[in-house]
Amino acid sequence: MSNIKIYYASVSGSREVKQKQSEVMRIFDSYNIKYELIDITVSPQALEEMRTKADSPMAAPPQIFNGPEYCGDFDTFHYAKENKEILKFLKMEEMESDGTTSSS
């Protein structure tokens, strides 16, 4: 089972942030990758948690995690997408060819 978490902002004045978040979700949906959205605008604790886990006091959404492991930000995600390495980026080694996780 996937433990992918995306820290995002449901309210943002930045069109760029909104576009990046939408692209991440669209790509995950196309790969049938289940994920949990964590809205950093709901509480200061969620924002602080995201920045602490990403080990960056200036981290901005979207930030992507697989369980406790930090996968990366949008730029790292975009690089992985361009190189067809999304599953490697997400640290999801055991994937079936149809894009679903194997049950082991």
Write the pLDDT tens digit of every residue in 19-33. Answer: 999 999 999 999 999
Helix (H) or strand (E) holding 27: helix 15-30
pLDDT attached to residue 92: 84
pLDDT of residue 36: 97
The pLDDT, as a whole number, for residue 94 is: 54
CB contact at 8 A, 74 and 24: yes
Name the CATH topology of 4-89.
Answer: Glutaredoxin (3.40.30)
* Average pLDDT of every residue of the chain: 89
Enumerate helices (H) and strands (E) in the chain, giving the number of each: 4, 4
Share in percent of the chain as helix, strand, coil (round to 5): 40, 20, 40
By CB atoms closer than 10 A (0-12, 13-18, 19+), residue 74 is buried
Query: pLDDT tens digits, residue range 42-97?
Result: 999 999 999 999 999 999 999 999 999 999 999 999 999 999 999 999 988 654 44
- pTM for this structure? 0.85
pLDDT for position 44: 94
Q: How confident is the model at residue 1 (pLDDT cuts 50, 70, 90)?
A: very low
- How far apart (Å, rounded) are the C-alpha atoms in residues 51 and 69? 13
